[in-house]
């Protein structure tokens, strides 16, 4: 698979952006002393905060603009509120958020069912494409999953007897 | 409008959602004409990024037409065809003023370590993204850039992330004329980093991956050497042998959290989520670069921790440079490179998929089916 270039200088554009001054510390070195003083800039107008925004404890304010997608709700929301009480430096924050994400996944399924939509997991996982492109691989996946579930159920039934 | 709807790891669909509205005087509403699925979207898709909420819409690579503007917007007007950098940046804070548009301090309340990014979880600000018919674009005086007359929109959509990220990966490598550059990952970013390494005067460009069709694509597109790590006993030993036992001058991690190639990293990083993704590529980069060399990281990891040989960073005197691409800073130069024919972004696009079939597109891209390099989503309202 190797393909060594004999004369790389003939590659179109070779070296056009070569920069012997490319300093690894760029662009931090460009800062001014004024910028060491925290919020030294004229802040943009504040987007109206009319919904619950979970804010990092590592900043004093809500950013001037923010996303409004999916405010926290339910059990996952409670977990997220707890997580945001901790700094970005802590495992508590991030692991709780990952746990909240998993809880949120099941909340989503319940929400779908409540609104009369049974989630089409096959379609949501894009297995239609796999069926079209790699049917044998999909068959192996389904077969393996079915075998594992059957084995687990068999063990559980035997134990319960 | 129709928009992508995340339902949990590896589960997405398209649903009807309310159209976005102007919420800030510097907002614009853009009707999306093309959006891409990015390799870093797969970190969200696989549930690796904390605070990825069910119901969110992903998508940070998109172009479209300005449909509505806020009262303070002067940089673009209704009807403009714009490309929108994936970073949301105010242009006023200390970081934006330094050209660090990927690190804006006025676009993300949720995490100070992360800038604002369209459709990239609440850890990146909680914005809905461009895998939809319409999207709200904050700070429209800063980010959105009118697509130059005659530029193919397929080229433009890749200027929102892929081209700047690949270019910045090479730029952060501080490549000097004749340098050997090793790039881990033959996805769109790795391929673009290889292509751009020549622009900085590299003497040798090597791409390492394990997907054969991607390596073949990289070899043809970026005129580089390509190697499959599955055919090596040890990729780091291979690099040492290929560089007269010194190591590469520059190593670029263009993989991030989804890296394959090391069982321990895969189990702890991707399966058990005990670290913020698998750091295999970064591990190889640190150990494969020469003493005093530079490691450039553009692969995306989660915000917790990763297992990397930090002792070797000290012992070898390595400089590590990393960032989300500063798209706004790089755009003028990169638009010119595309216009001059030095970079051909649209050649990376292998799949065009209607937005309605987004679940299939994610699955094809994620599982690397059908020789997929880069999928583009076309919303039904694209040609309205």
Q: Does the residue B66 lie in any domain?
A: yes
Positions of chain B with pLDDT lower than 70, given as ranges: none
pLDDT at A27: 53
Contact A15 B200 (CB under 8 A): yes
Q: Does the residue B383 lie in any domain?
A: no
Alpha carbon distance B175, B202 (integer Å): 6
- Compare CB distances from A22 to B113, B174, B226 and report the shortest one's residue: B174
- Type and span of the H or E element at B213: helix B212-222
Task: Kindly state whether residues B12 and B121 are assigned to the same domain.
Answer: yes
Nearest chain B Cα distance for residue A27, angstroms: 6
Burial of B384 (0-12, 13-18, 19+ CB in 10 A): exposed
Q: Does the residue B157 lie in any domain?
A: yes
Task: Kindly state whether residues B273 and B334 are assigned to the same domain.
Answer: no
Of the candidates B275, B304, B322, which is a domain's last residue? B322
Q: Does the residue B114 lie in any domain?
A: yes
pLDDT at A4: 67
Q: How far is CA B349 from CA B187, B244, B346, in A?
A: 12, 37, 6
Q: Does the residue B384 lie in any domain?
A: no
Contact B97 A43 (CB under 8 A): no
Q: Look at chain B and report how many structural domains it folds into.
A: 2
Question: Which residues in chain B are contacts of A83 at CB distance < 8 A?
Answer: 51
Alpha carbon distance A107, B139 (integer Å): 33
Q: Kindly report the backbone phi and psi dihedral angles of residue A143, in degrees, each rounded to the nearest multiple of 5, phi listed first.
A: -60, -45
Task: Kindly state whether residues B112 and B246 are assigned to the same domain.
Answer: no
- Compare CB distances from A11 to B113, B198, B228 and report the shortest one's residue: B198
- Maximum Cα–Cα distance for chain A, whole Å? 77
Starting at the edge strand found earlier in the chain, the sheet holding B180-184 runs B225-228, B204-209, B180-184, B248-253, B289-297, B319-322
| Residues B342 and A12: beta-carbon distance below 8 Å | yes
Q: How far is CA A109 from CA A106, B28, B312, in A?
A: 5, 33, 46
**Closest residue on chain B to A122 (Cα):** B11
| Residues B299 and B253: beta-carbon distance below 8 Å | yes
pLDDT at A32: 64
Contact B93 A41 (CB under 8 A): yes
Task: Kindly state whether residues B152 and B167 are assigned to the same domain.
Answer: no
pLDDT at B125: 97
What's B225's domain CATH number? 3.40.50.720
Residue B35: name the closest of B341, B358, B372, B255 by CA.
B358
Q: Does the residue B125 lie in any domain?
A: yes
Question: How would you label B325-360 residue by residue, b for 16+ Cβ within 10 Å and e otherwise?
Answer: bbbbbbbeebbebbeeebbebebbbbbebebebbbb
pLDDT in tens, A5-31: 778 888 898 999 888 777 665 555 566
Task: Kindly state whether residues B14 and B117 are assigned to the same domain.
Answer: yes
Q: Kindly report the backbone phi and psi dihedral angles of residue A157, in degrees, each rounded to the nearest multiple of 5, phi listed first.
A: -65, -45
Task: Kindly state whether residues B114 and B8 are assigned to the same domain.
Answer: yes
Task: Kindly state whether residues B9 and B135 are assigned to the same domain.
Answer: yes
| ipTM, 2 dp | 0.84
Of the candidates B296, B322, B348, which is a domain's last residue? B322
Alpha carbon distance A126, B357 (integer Å): 8
**∠ Cα B137 B143 B148 (to 5°):** 110
Tell the residue number behind the tokens 């297995």, with chain if given. A127
- Please name every residue paired with B226 in a beta bridge, in sequence order, or none if there are none: B207
Alpha carbon distance A80, B108 (integer Å): 16
| Residues B324 and B123: beta-carbon distance below 8 Å | no
Q: How many C-alpha atoms does A105 have within 13 Å on its Cβ side?
A: 17
pLDDT at B107: 97
pLDDT at B303: 84
Tell the residue number behind the tokens 């917007």, with chain if given. B73
Domain ranges, residue B74: 2-161+326-378
What's B359's domain CATH number? 3.90.180.10
pLDDT in tens, B79-132: 999 999 999 999 999 999 888 999 999 999 999 999 999 999 999 999 999 999
Task: Kindly state whether residues B38 and B141 are assigned to the same domain.
Answer: yes
Of the candidates B307, B322, B337, which is a domain's last residue? B322
Alpha carbon distance B380, B358 (integer Å): 12
pLDDT at A149: 92
Per residue of chain A (161 residues), give pLDDT as tens.
455 677 888 889 899 988 877 766 555 556 666 666 778 899 999 999 999 999 999 999 999 999 999 999 999 999 999 999 999 989 899 999 999 999 999 999 999 999 998 999 999 999 999 999 999 988 998 899 899 999 999 998 888 87
Task: Kindly state whether residues B94 and B232 are assigned to the same domain.
Answer: no
Radius of gyration of chain A (CA): 27
Contact A70 B126 (CB under 8 A): yes
Task: Kindly state whether residues B169 and B306 are assigned to the same domain.
Answer: yes
Q: Does the residue B222 lie in any domain?
A: yes
Q: Does the residue B331 lie in any domain?
A: yes
Q: What phi-psi label fits residue B8: left (phi over 0), alpha (psi between -120 and 50 degrees) or beta? A: left
Cβ-based neighbour number of residue B111 at 10 Å: 24
Q: Tell me the count of A-B CB pairs closer than 8 A.
A: 252
**Closest residue on chain A to B274 (Cα):** A95
| Neighbouring residues of B112: CB distance < 8 A, sequence distance ≥ 6 | A56, A58, A59, A88, B105
Task: Kindly state whether residues B7 and B115 are assigned to the same domain.
Answer: yes
Contact A108 B55 (CB under 8 A): yes
Question: Which residues in chain B are contacts of A18 at CB distance < 8 A?
Answer: 175-177, 200-201
pLDDT at A38: 78
Q: How far is CA B318 from CA B100, B262, B289, B321, in A?
A: 23, 23, 8, 10
pLDDT in tens, B144-180: 999 999 999 999 999 999 999 999 999 999 999 999 9
pLDDT at B282: 96
**Tokens of residue B84, six digits:** 């929108």
Task: Kindly state whether residues B150 and B266 are assigned to the same domain.
Answer: no
Cβ-based neighbour number of residue A37 at 10 Å: 9
């Amino acid at each position: 698979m190797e393909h060594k270039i004999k004369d790389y200088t003939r590659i179109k554009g070779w070296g056009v952006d070569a920069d012997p001054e490319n300093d690894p510390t760029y662009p931090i070195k460009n800062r001014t002393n004024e910028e060491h003083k925290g919020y030294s800039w004229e802040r943009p107008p504040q987007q109206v905060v009319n919904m619950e925004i979970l804010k990092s404890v590592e900043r004093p304010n809500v950013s001037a603009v923010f996303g409004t997608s999916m405010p926290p709700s339910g059990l996952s929301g409670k977990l997220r509120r707890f997580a945001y009480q901790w700094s970005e430096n802590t495992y508590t924050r991030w692991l709780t958020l990952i746990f909240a994400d998993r809880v949120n996944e099941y909340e989503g399924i319940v929400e779908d069912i409540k609104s009369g939509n049974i989630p089409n997991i096959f379609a949501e996982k894009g297995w239609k494409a796999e069926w079209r492109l790699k049917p044998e691989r999909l068959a192996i996946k389904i077969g393996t999953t079915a075998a594992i579930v059957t084995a687990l159920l068999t063990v559980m039934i035997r134990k319960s007897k | 409008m129709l928009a992508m709807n995340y339902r949990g790891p590896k589960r997405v669909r398209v649903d009807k959602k309310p159209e976005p509205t102007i919420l800030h005087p510097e907002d614009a509403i853009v009707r999306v004409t093309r959006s891409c699925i990015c390799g870093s979207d797969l970190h969200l898709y696989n549930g690796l990024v904390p605070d990825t909420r069910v119901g969110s819409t992903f998508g940070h690579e998109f172009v479209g037409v300005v449909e509505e503007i806020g009262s303070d917007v002067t940089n673009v007007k209704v009807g403009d065809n714009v490309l929108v950098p994936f970073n949301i940046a105010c242009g006023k804070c200390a970081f934006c003023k330094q050209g660090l548009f990927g690190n804006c301090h006025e676009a993300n309340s949720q995490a100070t370590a992360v800038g604002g990014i369209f459709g990239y979880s609440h850890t990146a600000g909680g914005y809905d993204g461009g895998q939809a018919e319409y999207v709200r674009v904050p700070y429209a005086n800063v980010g959105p850039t009118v697509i130059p007359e005659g530029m193919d929109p397929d080229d433009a959509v890749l200027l929102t992330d892929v081209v700047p990220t690949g270019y910045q990966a090479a730029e952060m490598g501080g490549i000097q004329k004749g340098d050997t550059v090793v790039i881990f990952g033959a996805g769109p970013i790795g391929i673009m980093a290889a292509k751009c390494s020549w622009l900085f005067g590299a003497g040798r460009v090597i791409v390492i991956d394990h997907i054969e069709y991607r390596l073949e694509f990289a070899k043809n597109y970026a005129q580089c050497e390509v190697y499959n790590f599955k055919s090596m006993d040890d990729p780091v030993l291979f690099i040492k042998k290929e560089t007269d036992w010194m190591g590469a001058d520059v190593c670029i991690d263009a993989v991030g959290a989804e890296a394959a190639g090391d069982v321990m990293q895969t189990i702890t990083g991707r399966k058990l989520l005990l670290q913020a993704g698998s750091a295999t590529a970064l591990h190889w980069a640190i150990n494969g670069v020469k003493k005093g060399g530079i490691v450039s990281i553009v692969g995306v990891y989660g915000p917790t921790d990763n297992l990397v040989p930090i002792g070797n960073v000290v012992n070898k005197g390595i400089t590590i440079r990393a960032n989300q691409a500063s798209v706004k800073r790089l755009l003028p130069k990169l638009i010119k490179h595309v216009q001059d024919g030095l970079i051909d972004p649209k050649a990376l696009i292998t799949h065009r998929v209607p937005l309605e079939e987004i679940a299939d597109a994610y699955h094809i891209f994620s599982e690397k089916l059908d020789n997929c390099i880069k999928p583009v989503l076309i919303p039904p309202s694209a040609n309205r």
